[in-house]
Amino acid sequence: MQVIAEAIGHDYGPLPVLENVDLAVREGEVLAIIGPSGCGKSTLLSILGGLLQPSRGRVLLKGQPQADCLNPLTFVFQDFALLPWRSVAGNVELVLEHHRLGSAERRRRVADALARTGLSDFAAALPKQLSGGMRQRVGIARALAVRPAVLLLDEPLSALDAQTRELLLEDFESLWVRERTTAIYVTHNLSEALRLADRVAVFSRRPGRLKELVEIPLPRGQRSGAQAQVELAALHDRLWGLIRAEAQSAVTELEHG
């Protein structure tokens, strides 16, 4: 499916956070959204995913989800949002329970989602028995169980240590190379964006406006060689150049209230 934002604007009371955002997310692509703190990245994601009604503009969905899709737009958040009294399998099954599925189909979907995220051996474990990275994998498995047409990720790795983040980046790369799920990925981390995305949407500070869409010409899976690293470093410098001054202004504003 394609997700299209047309002239999106949003205010929180008297505070404008987004203004005149036009953006089209192509079917099968990973679009990363970056920008200074407070520029409305998470607000835009919530609007695109239908959790928040914009003050102005509209969101269009084009195309049909696959036949086994139960929820076309599905979120993965940074805080895992797992129920501590449910097992790994129980947390994944939670999103299936309000759908008209037989118990055998629910079990099949849970088993498939756990297998795709390397969690089959942990189906009976409780969240407190898992590392942060494993808990985030459960959140990803839960999202995959509904076979989403579009995956919306709000800084899913920001609460993790560097080693765990690297392992999950590998998981994301494998997932998108294998399945071509459309994804919108909000992040503060430019290296994550360059590693995972097909395009990067760069936003200005509040009220957030789309400054530039930057294409990443290297296919995922071909970004680790020496020459690729040179090209990615140049793109990193370009992205940082687009947001550096505004990022510094945003930090100064936060520090001084």
Same domain, 28 and 61: yes
The residue among 117, 147, 177 that closes a domain is: 147
Whether 86 and 131 map to the same domain: the answer is yes
Average pLDDT, the chain: 90
Q: Is 166 found in the same domain as 253? A: yes
- Name the domain count of the chain: 2
**Whether residue 135 sits in one domain with residue 21:** no
Mean of the pLDDT values across residues 156-177?
81
In a domain? residue 210 = no
- The CATH number that applies at residue 248 is 3.40.50.300
* Stretch (H or E) spanning 133: helix 132-145
Which residue among 107, 130, 147 closes a domain?
147
Domain boundary among 147, 173, 195: 147
249 and 142 share one domain: no
Domain span at 98 = 80-147
Report pLDDT digits (tens) over 218-248. Answer: 988 788 888 899 999 999 999 999 998 887 7
Contact (CB, 8 A) for 141 and 90: no
Same domain for 93 and 135: yes
Q: Is the per-residue pLDDT at 66 higher than 90?
A: no
The helix/strand/coil state of 122 is: helix
pLDDT band at 78 (very low <50, low <70, confident <90, very high): confident
Cα Rg, the chain, nearest whole Å: 19
Residue 234 lies in a domain: yes
Across residues 155-169, what is the average pLDDT?
82
* CA atoms of 119 and 79, how far apart (whole Å): 19
Residues 241 and 178 in one domain: yes
The model's confidence at residue 161, banded by pLDDT at 50, 70 and 90, is confident
Does residue 73 lie within any of the structural domains?
A: no
Measured between its terminal Cα atoms, the distance across the chain in Å is 41
* Same domain for 228 and 110: no
Render 173-236 in DSSP notation, one character per residue. HHHHHHH--EEEEE-S-HHHHHHH-SEEEEEPSSSB-EEEEEE--SPTTS--SHHHHHHHHHHH
Prediction pTM value: 0.90
Q: Are residues 3 and 42 in the same domain?
A: yes
Q: Tell whether 71 is covered by a domain.
A: no
- How much is the pLDDT for 222? 83
Does residue 72 fall inside a structural domain? no
| Domain-embedded: residue 230 | yes
Assess whether 165 and 137 both reside in one domain. no
Which pLDDT tens digit goes with each residue over 29-38?
999 999 998 8
| 237 belongs to a structural domain | yes
Average pLDDT over residues 244-253: 69
pLDDT digits (tens, 9 = 90+) for 183-193: 999 999 999 99
Looking at residue 255, its pLDDT comes to 58
Side chain identity at 72, as an amino acid letter?
P
Q: What percent of the chain has pLDDT over 70?
A: 96
